[in-house]
Structure 1
Amino acid sequence: MFSGIIPPMVTPLVDRDHLDVPGLERLVDHIIGGGVHGLFVLGTTGEGPSLGYDVRREIVARTCELAAGRVPVLVGVTDTSYSESLRLTEHAAECGAKGVVLAPPFYFPAGQSELQEYFEAIVGDLCLPVMLYNMPSCTKLHIEIETLRHALEHPNVVGFKDSSANMVYFHLARRVFDQHPHKSILVGPEELLAESTLLGGHGGVNGGANLFPRLYVDLYNAALNGEVERVQQLHRQVIRVTDLYRVGSHSSAVIKGIKSGLACLDICQDHMAEPLHRFRERERLQISELMEELRPLAAGATIKV
């Protein structure tokens, strides 16, 4: 079972489609050094669908090599092409990844019965354990509870990442997992990490853990142990981190904010894959000012909120 804090790692770039290799090395060490429980590459925060297939294969290979078995590596294999998802999974397995993350294919809007058939077919063909991924804001397709229930019956589905930011949905999904005690449900939005873990979730795939992994690990552990007062304190710190995501005016501001923050920490460059562009000078200055306040979090300290 994959559980705990598994950051959706950004993809460091030197231009629109080439890896920032030294930056990737620093990033992997920085995140793992924060005590996380795994790494997730080629997710939404990793700009997976925007990257060329060569770059996707390269970051999978390099990340697995850099992780060197210290934590499991999960690979996002969501694609509009069934066969490309299979190929990337095979490559991930060859590189030593321990699982894949699969969202519904985007562009053509499948019905729920079609989605059930798709999951049943592809999960059986994938050679690694599968975490299903509900990301309706990007795929424009919501995995309904009955579809999730059906998919969890497959032995190769080992868990579920929910990024819907809908706690009513989370509670309904969590109830389904009572029938599957060895499978895990994790949340994407870090604002919901504390609440979801206290109420039976198994961790988070939180973008801010690229920047401050120890903070998110500490919050997860406190929630797991029922330390409510400490949870409240650390949750306020996490909410302060999310101010980085409100600097820009588009939904891409989350990824831009994280990458710009990493640049402020001298970990990696902040280039984005097309069609997105990194923050302009005005926004980068705002991020820099915020990071001056947040910087102590990188060393495991706390800040006033």
Structure 2
Amino acid sequence: MSEKLYGVVPPLLTIFAENGEVDYRGTAKLAKFLSNHVHALFVCGTYGNGPLMSVEERIRVLEAVESEVRDRVPLVVHVGTTSTPDAIKLARHAEEVGAIAVAAVPPYYFHHPDERVVRHFSKIVENVSIPVYVYNNPKTVGYPVTPALLKKLEAAGVKGVKDSSFDILMLEEYKLATSDDFDVVLGTEALFLPAYILGVRAFVPGLANAFPELIRELFDSCISGDLKNAKHLHDKVYKLRKIAYKAGASNVGVLALLKMRGFSKGYPRQPFGMVEDEVYSVMKAEVSKVFGGNIPPIG
């Protein structure tokens, strides 16, 4: 992949069975549905519960998804973990199965100084020939990818950043700190419209797991210059996002939204739990209101 990422790239939910085992078939089924509406898929990230799975489970998830959507949409694979050897193993496997790029949060749990983070990413870059992105998610990692660190990572061979800081100013700081060839990707639907106006052209929106058609329409409206419709759609997206967060965790909330559309029942992996019935009923009523009384079923 020589070009930058483009379009709507949902962070694919990993589906689990009630007993906590990975539902590989269910995950592949969701990937196939999404592939009809989006530009690419981001596998085993935050929504994909990558940190909740073993290395072998992550490998099997990617293989199941790749088998289902081969020649339909390209895949970007999250390989972030606590250790450099595991990240390298996941990155090599991703390249072997045909991923167009890999991304990784900095090593989490321990707070690492810049030089360690740069060394970690340098090792990943050395072991694959596809682009490597750093994934800035300070809330879950425990420390941020600062503009100064990002500049060092670019010098070490990192090709882009997926930013989930929810700070629109950080996107500008990243652009100022890096070259024009460096790819800055937005990791949320919450700032879709302002990020687009600032020049971002690739988005990793968790809500697109449940409503890929809506997010794609928003993107297409931006591309066509219909900012009036884009603003209308952005408002709808934001309302749905707020509803999803009533579940207490966005991945659990979006799974509930999928259920409302008729997707076969899936479960989150513990310690996450299902949305309580009372909360689910409130969420469903609010989603129905957003769509004028009828939640669109999955076609």
> What's the TM-score once normalised by structure 1's chain length?
0.89
Listed one character per residue, the Cα deviations across residues 269-297 of structure 1 (whole Å, up to 9, x for unaligned) are: 33111221121222222233234345667
Q: What is the CA distance between 1:222 and its match in structure 2?
A: 2.3
Using the aligned pairs only, state the percent identity.
25
In 1, Cα distance between the equivalents of 2:190 and 2:100?
A: 27
Structure 1, 125-134 or 60-69: larger mean CA deviation: 125-134
Q: What is the CA distance between 1:192 and its match in structure 2?
A: 0.3
In 1, Cα distance between the equivalents of 2:223 and 2:175?
A: 16
Which residue is equivalent to 1:174? 175
Which residue is equivalent to 2:133? 131
Residue aligned with 2:184, SS: strand
2:270 is the alignment partner of 1:274: yes
Q: Describe the shift of the 1:259–1:112 C-alpha distance in structure 2 as closer, same or farther (beyond 3 A).
A: same
Which residue is equivalent to 2:214? 215
Which residue is equivalent to 1:303? none
Q: Describe the shift of the 1:53–1:115 C-alpha distance in structure 2 as closer, same or farther (beyond 3 A).
A: closer
Structure 1, 121-130 or 161-170: larger mean CA deviation: 121-130
Residue aligned with 2:190, SS: helix
Alpha carbons 2:16, 2:23 under 8 Å: kept: yes
Taking CA–CA contacts closer than 8 Å with sequence separation of 6 or more, which of the two structures ends up with the larger relative contact order?
1
> What's the TM-score once normalised by structure 2's chain length?
0.90
In 2, Cα distance between the equivalents of 1:63 and 1:76?
A: 13
Alpha carbons 2:55, 2:86 under 8 Å: kept: no
Which residue is equivalent to 1:8? 11
| 1:37 partner letter | H
Equivalent residue runs for 1:190-205 within 5 Å? 190-205=189-204
- Flag structure 2 segments of 5+ consecutive residues without an equivalent: none
Listed one character per residue, the Cα deviations across residues 66-97 of structure 1 (whole Å, up to 9, x for unaligned) are: 11121111111111111111111222222222
In 1, Cα distance between the equivalents of 2:48 and 2:264?
A: 13
Equivalent residue runs for 1:228-267 within 5 Å? 228-248=227-247, 250=248, 253-267=249-263
Q: Describe the shift of the 1:5–1:13 C-alpha distance in structure 2 as closer, same or farther (beyond 3 A).
A: same
Q: Describe the shift of the 1:258–1:93 C-alpha distance in structure 2 as closer, same or farther (beyond 3 A).
A: same
Which residue is equivalent to 2:110? 108
Which residue is equivalent to 1:141? 143
Count of aligned pairs? 293
In 2, Cα distance between the equivalents of 1:169 and 1:289?
A: 35
2:43 is the alignment partner of 1:41: yes
| 1:11 partner letter | T
Q: What is the CA distance between 1:154 and its match in structure 2?
A: 4.0
